[in-house]
Chain A
């Protein structure tokens, strides 16, 4: 559905966006440099590296982990985050027999301040329609084969609460520093489509 053979800059919606951009600049409603500022912000400063730092802290600091799970919004306050979309953050923990996965079936709500802007597949109809109904199959297709006795908890972000998954620490990462651990945490494990 999202596949297209037209170059992304020549799609009808791309040309219409270009036309609207020119119009808004002409009317003084948009500063031309705002587009580059958006690209810089969400490519360099607001992204999953922030969530990874939070996960790594939870792995090395049991008190922080407990705080994060009890009151995610307050616990991430010390991380100096920007990017919005986390008026209330709920962090849900995986365990050997519980796997959590996050979606927004009605639009594409996502915790920008900790994970950045969502990947395209998170916003596409295939993921949004199927992950609430047949998550085990979808996760398997995405490369995560859960054992048959693992309970799956799906979190559909239907209001302003935002969700992030706290994965289990990989067994082979014992003894790593917090910074080294953060390098091991991918966007996908914090959404819950990987472990």
Chain B
């Protein structure tokens, strides 16, 4: 989806607030959200982490930027707990009144959670741990192959960032079969496919940018196709002679 989460290459977010210290939780509630995410998974509110990642992507976009990492997790968590029927929004609002004696004016202005009335099907429980799955056919590409990335995008989970759409790169690694997040997040099954590291020249992604930059991404086979530019084929034929 073309969501607020897809930040690569966007302008306007300012300086990195570089904290050198190793503090992992800056307030107790952040650790509570972490523990609740573990609990939500155990309770079956989602069957795979792709679904959780997508729930975070579709929270309120203002909250996505304003609530911080654990605020985003909280939004995804509440979304999936409500969609799974484990809690209701009304129950949360009720507890909220007890927690806070004098709620701030903006209290419910940007609730992050965005539960759907008609959620996606849960999909099957994974039959094995992890995300790697053997595929009984050879990989589509090998290291060194030139590929181009897909240009189309739908309103659903994907792991092809906008900045790498419609670009040409080279296969730099072949990682075997992995669960396909674009389907798995929506309860459409694991549908494993090959995963590749694809390396792009910086100038391909950012014309006029840093000539000594490369950016590598791990991309699933359905995002990729062979470059079929006739000029390139002719060049390959020359090189192979």
Residues of A within 8 A of B (CB): 1-3, 8-9, 11-24, 27, 29-30, 34-39, 42-43, 47-48, 87-88, 90, 103, 105-108, 116-117, 119-121, 123-130, 132-136, 138, 141-143, 149-161, 187-188, 193
Contact of A129 among B7, B25, B56, B78 (CB under 8 A): B7
Whether the Cβ atoms of A187 and B22 lie closer than 8 Å is yes
Interface 9-residue window, one of B117-125, B135-143, B211-219, B228-236: B211-219
Q: What residues of B have a CB within 8 angstroms of the CB of A48 in the complex?
A: 22
Least Cβ distance of A51 to chain B in Å? 12
Contact A16 B39, CB 8 Å, known A42-B24, A156-B216: no
Interface residues of B (CB under 8 A from A): 5-11, 13-20, 22, 24-29, 31-36, 38-40, 42-43, 53, 56-57, 63, 65-71, 74, 77-78, 81, 86-87, 91-93, 95-96, 98-100, 103-104, 106-112, 130-132, 159-161, 163-164, 173, 175, 178, 181, 195, 197, 202, 205-206, 209-210, 212-220
| A106-B5, A156-B215, A159-B218 given; 4 more Cβ-contact pairs under 8 Å | A12-B104, A13-B70, A39-B28, A160-B178
B205 smallest CB distance to A (angstroms): 8
Closest to B196 in A: A159
Task: Verify A27–B86 contact, CB threshold 8 A.
Answer: yes
Q: Which of A13, A121, A151 contacts B71 (CB 8 A)?
A: A13
Assess whether B86 is in contact with A107, with CB atoms less than 8 Å apart: no
A186 → B minimal CB distance (Å): 8
Question: A17, B18: Cβ atoms under 8 Å?
Answer: no
Which 9 interchain pairs have the tightest Cβ spacing? Answer: A105-B8, A159-B218, A8-B27, A19-B95, A13-B71, A123-B69, A34-B35, A129-B10, A17-B29
Indicate if the CB atoms of A20 and B219 lie closer than 8 Å.
no
What is the bound-complex CA distance between A77 and B153, given in angstroms? 38
Q: Does B35 contact A120, Cβ atoms closer than 8 Å?
A: no
Please, which residues of chain B bring their CB within 8 A of the CB of A129?
7-11, 13
Q: Is the CB of B20 within 8 A of A132?
A: no
Q: List 18 A-B contacts (CB under 8 A).
A: A15-B96, A16-B92, A20-B87, A22-B98, A23-B95, A27-B86, A38-B38, A42-B31, A43-B24, A47-B24, A88-B132, A120-B26, A120-B69, A121-B17, A132-B8, A141-B18, A158-B159, A159-B195
